[in-house]
Every structure is written in C-alpha cells, then in structure tokens.
Chain A
Amino acid sequence: MSTSARSRTVHIGPDGLHARSREELVLDVLFDDRRIWSLWLHRDGEDEPDGEGTFVAWPKGMKRFLDGVARVSVVVHETGEVLYDEEHRFGDGEGRVEVVDRDGNPLATDKTGRLVKTFATRSAEHVAPLLDAVEEVLDALRRAGIDAFVAYGTLLGAIREGQLIGHDSDADLGYVSEHSEPVDVMRESFRLQARLAEMGYVTQRYSGAAFKVVVTEADGSARGLDVFGGFLRDGHLYLMGEIRAPFQREWIFPLGTATLEGREVPVPADPDRLLVATYGPSWRTPDPAYKFETPASTHRRLNGWFRGIRPQRPLWDGFYARAPEPASWEPSDLARDAFAAHGTDATYVDLGCGHGADARWLAEQGATVWGLDHVPKAFAGTAASLPEGSTAHFAALNLHELRSVLSTGALLARQPGPKVLLGRHLVDAVDRPGRRNLYRLCDMLLRDGGELWLEYVCRRGRDRLARRLRVKVRQPARIEAELAGAGATVTGREVLLASTPVGGKAVEVPSRICRMVATWR
C-alpha cells in the first residue's frame, strides 16, 4: 500500500463518512456511479474523538434514503483517485439505495449542501426551458434598461466549461446598476421585479436588491432564476449576495459574450475579474463543494443596506412544505369568539392565516374575510378550493416589507364596515420590527372602529406548545406596552390554559395563552 493510500483511509458508516487525510481534500461520494454528495473533508468534518481522522455527517435530508444496498465510491475530486469503492449495506433494506425525489428524479447535493435536482442528471431537453428562461429574463431586463449578465455558478460554467455546472441546480443573473446609492439600487430592483410580474412571471424577493424568478420546466417542476443587483461605489463592486471587491467599471462594461450550452450569453467585459472576486484566483479548478466565504465587513454592509425583509421565511416555507394540510379544519376559539362578538357586520382579517382554516370557517358563516400570510403556499390549497361566490379572500402579506404592509393596509382600508383583525400566534411568531409593522397595519385599518384580537403563548408549560408552534413566549405586559406605544388601547386581557392535547393526553402543566383585545380609536 502506498503512503498516500494509507494516509487516506475511508470508512462509510450509518451517520456519515470517516476518513483520514493530513491534507485537505475535496471528495465526491458516488452511489452506483452517480455523484450524490461533494464535501471538503476538513472544512465540513469534525475530528474523531480518538484524534484518528475526520468524521463528516451525511448531508441533511440524506439519511432518510439510506436503507438498502449501494456501491459506494469515494473519489478525490481533483485527481480522480478512488479511496473507497465497495458494496455497502445501510440499515435492513434489501433493495438498492435510491436518492430520488417523489417523482423519481435523481438528487445530489448542490454547493449549499442541499439535496436538489442538479444539472448533472438532466438532459439537453431538460435544461432547455431554463436556458430559454435565462434568455427571456435577460431580454426583459434589457427592455427595462438593464444590461444583465450571467453570474456566479452560471458564469463559472459558461467560462470554464461552456455548460451549466453539473453540481449546480439553478441559474444566476447579475447586473451592475448605473446608480451608486443603495436606496436607488433598490428602487430600480423593485421596478424590475414589477416589470417581470407584469410579464406574468412569478417572483419572490430575497432582499432589497435581489429576487428570484420562478420558471416552470417541462416536467412541471419549478426552478428559481436569481436576479442579483449590483453597483459600483467608492472603487468597489458590490453584487448581491456575496461580493464586495475593488473593481473598475470597464471590467463589466461593455458586456461581452460567452457560450453556454451552445447559446450565446452576456458576460462581463472581463469575466476573469468577476470570477476571481467570486471564487478566488483558483476558480479554474473545479470544486463542487465550494462554499462562499464572505468577509464579515461585506456581510455587514450588504445586510445593513439590503437585507432583513424575510427573516424566518425559510423556516415557514419548510413548515408548510411538510404540512400542506392543517391538522384540523375546526375553527379556533379565537375565531369563534370574535365572530360571536361581531357577527357578519364586520370584515375579518386573519393575519398570519396559515392554511386558512379560520378564514374558510368565517366565510362559511357568511362573513367577509381576508386571510393574509407571508407564505402564499400555506393558503394556496384553501384559496383554490373555495366555492364560487365565497366571501373569503387570500393575499400575501410580509410584515417585514414596508411596501407590503402599507399597500395591504390601503387595500383593506377600502373595504366597507369595521374590521376585526385576528392574530393567532402572530405576535409570538414575529420579531419586534415585524410587530411594529403589524401595529402600523392595525392603525391603518382600525382608526374608524373595529378591534384587534390577539392570542399568544405567555407562559411555557410542559406541553412544548411554543416549540411545536415555532413561537416564542411573550410577556403580556410587554405586548400591552408595545400596543400602547403604537396608539392602541387594550380593552380586554385574559390568560387561558392551552387546550391543545399532546398525543390525545391531558398535560399536567399546560402552557398559558394570553388573549388580548385592542382598539385604535
């Protein structure tokens, strides 16, 4: 055995990969000859307790597939040296391990370590819709006065290989604004997004200067195309979401072209400069496990200027992806009691409506109701199944985006009659900036009457309620002080025992829920 092979032993275990190597290695893990996972041994791993080597856990989401047999190969990415190549049995399963999604599409980790459908397993026919979308969005941006180019992994693929990178899973576009003030760069990005929405694209904003265009592919799956805004300021290029580097305008403009999957795409005048700023001077060496290491000072700047409009969104996206249906369609006590107090005279607004069970029930009682939630996917099923002529309406509301709060407030303020706003586990789910915008919205909707009805966890019990609901415990005195500070008067306050059973059994020490009613007159 050579010294090199001896010093690079690899074992596969139920929890991950154990390896020993003095030098850092980028490893590809293949199941039955297909790349599943790429990793940096030292960067991604932790020292074994006995000090003999490194352990790297299977990526998140991988373990559920690990039941059965696979020929597992571990290969040094750069040299192709095979460190491990054996049939391995995971668990008690008899069949082959298949890392595929619900529709049977092969999955592998992308650069962020998530299991996704990557380009490596996709045919020309499959990448064509994405490339079509790249061209279409580039054209749309051009018509809006913006000369965009392919950026990040897509630029890297075009320049280095002339094709989409096998381990990549999306396409990225970037542009450098003529503006140099962040406020102007964001306004421009808002207008661009609005133009694309007008053209019929589904978009989702990430930050003040970046958004995603959702493209539906031939197989019906949705794939994101990110549009990152950038600008030049004080001799530096800033490009969402990771770059701040000394830069000159002539390294971007006039744009050049490169070939990507046989199509001509725009690239910066000097793509090497942008790739160095993105991936470092070693960008020509493929590294499927590359992770951005953004300097803290760059993070601070980009966060301060542009970010903060979607805290916790990934958490709730994940929550509703796992729970497309509510546990029960029964209305909450809050909805029942508010309806008992106000009947059909009021227009109800369920803030943070989730699946929309309360909104649906209120409409069934004959009330006009608006269900609002940050995650449109949460109420999409309910909204689509409403009977014709239903008095329930659903819309997106992001309490961390002032534009969303103000325009929603204006839209609903035009509805006739007093409003009753329901916020069930809302103030315990959103942070202080989100609550400030909530109170602003209430102020807009309740000036001429109506009430805000809140329920939130105010004392932790043994039922783990706050944890299950993904909320924090809030002190009633604090919420009351916030409301008073926002111009509200608290007219009702009571503390209730949480009635949610755990596994059908009564809990010895249930959590406590505070119900609070406030007006803004």
Chain B
Amino acid sequence: MAVKDSLGKSARTVGEKVAATTVVDLRRRVKRLEDEVQECRALNLRLAELTDLVTELLLPVAQRDEAKVAELLERYQKSL
C-alpha cells in the first residue's frame, strides 16, 4: 500500500506498475531473508547448548561410571 500511496495516482503506466510490484516483492523477499538469517543465528545457541551438555555428560557415560553419571546429571541440572 505504501508504495502505491507514495506513487499516488501517477502510477498508471505499465512500467511504473511493474516497478511498484517489484518493490513490494523485494520487500517481502527481504523480510523472508531477514527471518531466515535470524533462524540461522539462533542455531548458534542450540549448538552451544547441545555441545555443552554432551561434553559434560558423555564422558562418564562412556566410562560406564553409573554413580558419576547420576551425580553429574543432578549437579548439571541444578547449575542452570
């Protein structure tokens, strides 16, 4: 709407209509791209969380140290 308003009634020629449509389309695409960039950025946090959890808990699991797993889990959960 803003594009149409800003061009006013003069937006009549085919060229201008195409230009207006293109601008609206580009705005939509930029918004989509911005959303997708944010989604990619958010992966940093997920990766950090997963890496932290795995790093802390995998070793005692691999060592089959049951008591240590239990203790670590409880300590980890409480430390957040």
**A interface residues with partner B (beta carbon < 8 Å):** 181-184, 186-187, 190-191, 193-194, 197-198, 205, 208, 300-301, 303-306, 308-309, 395-396, 398, 401-404, 406-408, 410-411, 414
Contact = CB atoms under 8 A, between A and B. Distances in A.
A309 B53 CA distance: 16
B41 A182 contact: yes
A205 B70 CA distance: 24
B42 A403 contact: no
A403 B51 CA distance: 9
Contact of B77 (A184, A300, A308, A408): A408
Given A186-B49, A305-B45, A396-B80, 13 more contacts: A187-B52, A190-B52, A205-B80, A208-B48, A395-B78, A396-B78, A398-B80, A401-B80, A402-B50, A403-B52, A406-B50, A407-B73, A414-B70
Contacts of B49: 186, 190, 401-403
A309 to B, nearest CB: 7
B41 A304 contact: yes
Interface of B: 34, 37-38, 40-42, 44-53, 57, 70, 73-74, 76-80
Given A303-B38, A407-B80, A183 B47 contact: yes
Contacts of B57: 407, 410
A341 to B, nearest CB: 28
Contact of A187 (B37, B38, B51, B77): B51
A197 B73 CA distance: 14
Contacts of B48: 182-184, 186-187, 190, 208
Contact of B79 (A184, A194, A306, A410): A194
B80 to A, nearest CB: 5
Contacts of A194: 76, 79
A305 B73 contact: no
Contact of A197 (B46, B52, B74, B79): B79
Contacts of A411: 73-74, 77
A193 B41 CA distance: 22
Contacts of A198: 79
22 contacts: A182-B41, A182-B45, A182-B48, A183-B48, A184-B48, A194-B79, A300-B34, A303-B38, A304-B37, A305-B41, A305-B42, A306-B44, A306-B45, A308-B45, A398-B80, A401-B49, A402-B50, A402-B53, A403-B80, A404-B80, A410-B73, A414-B70
Contacts of A304: 37-38, 40-42
A475 B15 CA distance: 46
- Most A CB within 10 A of own CB, among B46, B57, B74, B80: B80
Contacts of A395: 77-78
Contacts of A410: 57, 73
A181 B45 CA distance: 11
B54 to A, nearest CB: 9
B44 A208 contact: yes
Nearest to B50: A402
A437 B35 CA distance: 21
B44 A305 contact: yes
Nearest to B38: A304
A395 B74 CA distance: 10
A402 B54 CA distance: 12
Name the 4 nearest CB pairs between A and B, nearest first.
A304-B41, A186-B48, A197-B79, A182-B44
A191 B55 CA distance: 11
A407 B45 contact: no
A301 B44 CA distance: 12
Contacts of B77: 395, 404, 407-408, 411
- Most B CB within 10 A of own CB, among A205, A303, A308, A406: A406
A60 to B, nearest CB: 30
A183 B73 contact: no
Contact of A208 (B45, B53, B76): B45
Contacts of A403: 49, 52-53, 76, 80
A251 B30 CA distance: 36
Contacts of A308: 42, 45
Contacts of B51: 183, 187
Contacts of B70: 414
